Amino acid sequence: MKLIDVPEMGYTRTDRPWPRGEVVVRTPGMATGYYKVAHTTRSHSHTPHSHTHTICKFNRMRKRLRRHGKKGGSIQATLES
């Protein structure tokens, strides 16, 4: 897991006092592409990490992430009746 810069929202890993950015993850069991869809895999495989679109800030003293928002919009909850 790591934070990456989101320049369109003004968030960077060098922000002080808390670095901010999008959380991306990478695990050993993560899929490496789309099954039998090579053209889609090539267009989305520019990085080995999976983008969560979640913006977080990192508290270095406590070594904790705090959710700050969503990339491309606000955090919204939808209720189905």
Residue 75: inside a domain: no
- Is residue 77 domain-resident? no
CA distance linking residue 5 with residue 21, whole number of Å: 5
- Average pLDDT, whole number, for the chain? 75
Q: Is the pLDDT at 77 greater than 70, yes or no?
A: no
How many separate domains does the chain show? Answer: 1
Which pLDDT belongs to residue 75?
A: 46
Query: Edge to edge, what strands does the sheet with 20-25 contain?
Result: 2-4, 20-25, 50-59, 64-70
Residue 2 confidence (pLDDT) above 60? yes
Q: What is the pLDDT of residues 11-25, one digit of tens each?
A: 898 888 889 898 888
Which residues constitute the domain of residue 18? Answer: 2-70
- Looking at residue 72, the DSSP 8-state letter turns out to be T
Mean pLDDT (whole number) for 24-44: 69
24, 4 Cβ separation under 8 angstroms: yes
